[in-house]
Chains A and B, each alone.
Chain A
């Protein structure tokens, strides 16, 4: 296997999926660039697994078109798509050895035996599984099984690599090291990858871009910075990182700015506004805990410290404003901050943002996620 092999692009155009009267995926457009690592991040029932299964060919779209590179694969079953799929439980064939599992995709392509042996050997060595070829899969640990599943998916040199919560079954410490391993592999192989997870940390570590999904639609697609600094709505703001989301009344908007009445602060302020923020529409004010600043007196909103948690270098604070709202703050540790102290809250200008807020629909269970 050569060092750099680019995958293909993946393009979904107006793809949606209904199960009976339930719409698992709203009409969706998505372009994944060749070699890109894209994560679908969202709670269960958000449509991310449906989107993955549509891409794999396990589910046919109700409408829309799916292209891998130049090929229209919309109506092709998975076996004709040249995809590599890694399942959450790995789905290793229990009656085959590690080597037979990895060789399977090549052997059903009727490749000559010597070539199969060579490629299986190469991928096992790349996955640090040398010497395990004759082991039964049940003898392998969870982390090793995960690597076997990945080797089996990669050895066929897939145009697109699809992973459905592949670290879900691993314990937390192992997960961390496998994340770094996945990143190393991706940088080395450059396969177009779509990765499904509900773990935002995983998404932030691994991805070039992240698509945050909820209610069967992509809420926002962007780099990690985009999502964190410029969330398009309250759901994304709340799902990525920690956040204070205060109810506000939008008075007016112009040129990416909004004048909002913040009830919790009992004042009107001018802030950056996400597109879609409009006077009269429900909105929230986003303040990240690290952007909350505390002063002993003077300017700002009066508040009382109700909880102090030292995290070492940082301190996590819970503040109660005079309006009764609570606010999370994170400061460089200052031992003079104690519960009960009265402070004045200000915020870094340019780091607060008004975002539209649509009350989330009652969540339905997504069949494909079960």
Chain B
């Protein structure tokens, strides 16, 4: 081995050891638990697949993640566009506004939403005072609460990659399209949108994956009425001490994530030189 290789190994060594001992080994242990059920190696997966309740939980998790991602795209698009057009002080202020929530713990933000959304909270009181609704709305401990809380937490993960893609788009490409006779709709559909796709795909993947595995926010804002897969896994461990089921659930979540990532990579022409200049 040359000197360089020894150096590289020494530099990487400590991190590799820590990762292996504290991440890979426990993970492998956990996953191996999935196959230790007395009823047979794949019995746990059978339990998960056959139970209507568990299937419902997985479906709910998936639906929530899709809705959160879609709403994040819709909400992030105008913000990212404005960010990409701002300059100087205004850009600084706007970016600060987007990043500000990162400074506050997710737990604190989630509890704040509980105060805002509760039956006699300020939002319900406002809705009733202005006569928009007669009775107070159930905004908490259901999917509405989960969506509000998750979108709030995850929106910056959508805005930033989208902004990154938009700010890289050369304005002259849009002028060129205009000069070639394209309508504004054509310029958007055929030039602007495709050039935003890398940022869009990146942000959407972030948000979708994070929402699939999200725990604190759905646990506090959804309660027992909007159970997600991560809450189910936690309850296997904490309430039922069913480690093998928890491991199987984790593996199922990981498999779904990997399949979806592979599909995204296949469907979106990101490697077709979209970033290349």
Contacts and interface: CB of A to CB of B under 8 A. Distances in A.
Interface majority SS on B: helix, strand, loop or mixed?
Answer: helix
B266 interface: no
B168 to A, nearest CB: 10
B180 A156 contact: yes
A94 B276 contact: yes
Contacts of A80: 181
Nearest to A81: B179
A82 B190 CA distance: 19
B276 A138 contact: yes
B195 A79 contact: no
Contacts of A87: 172, 175-176
Contacts of B107: none
Contacts of B178: 57-58, 77-79
B260 interface: no
Contacts of B181: 79-80, 82, 105, 108-109, 156
B131 interface: no
B274 interface: yes
Contacts of B173: 91, 93-94
A80 B191 CA distance: 18
Interface in A107-121: 108-109
A108 B177 CA distance: 9
Contacts of A93: 173, 176-177, 191
Contacts of A156: 180-181
Contacts of B179: 56-58, 78-79, 81, 83-85, 153
A347 interface: no
Interface residues of A, number: 27
A104 interface: yes
A368 to B, nearest CB: 12
A104 B175 contact: no
B183 interface: yes
Interface residues of B, number: 23
B37 interface: no
A91 B274 contact: no
A108 B180 contact: yes
Interface string B234-277: 00000000000000000000000000000000000000111011
Contacts of B182: 79, 104-105, 108
Contacts of A84: 179
Given A79-B183, A108-B181, A109-B181, A94 B195 contact: yes
Nearest to A164: B172
Given A138-B273, A138-B276, A91 B172 contact: yes
Given A94-B277, A136-B273, A58 B191 contact: no
A95 interface: yes
A93 B181 CA distance: 15
A104 B274 contact: no
A87 B194 CA distance: 21
A57 B180 CA distance: 12
A109 to B, nearest CB: 6
A227 to B, nearest CB: 30
A77 B180 CA distance: 11
A320 B252 CA distance: 90
B172 A89 contact: yes
Given A104-B180, A109-B181, A156-B181, A95 B175 contact: no
11 contacts: A77-B178, A78-B175, A78-B179, A79-B180, A83-B179, A84-B179, A85-B175, A91-B172, A93-B191, A136-B273, A136-B276
Given A79-B183, A104-B177, A136-B272, 15 more contacts: A78-B179, A80-B181, A91-B170, A93-B191, A94-B276, A95-B272, A104-B182, A105-B180, A105-B181, A109-B181, A136-B273, A138-B277, A152-B180, A153-B179, A156-B181
Interface of B: 170, 172-173, 175-184, 186, 190-191, 194-195, 272-274, 276-277
Q: Which 7 A-B pairs have the closest CB atoms?
A: A105-B180, A108-B182, A91-B172, A91-B176, A85-B179, A78-B179, A78-B178
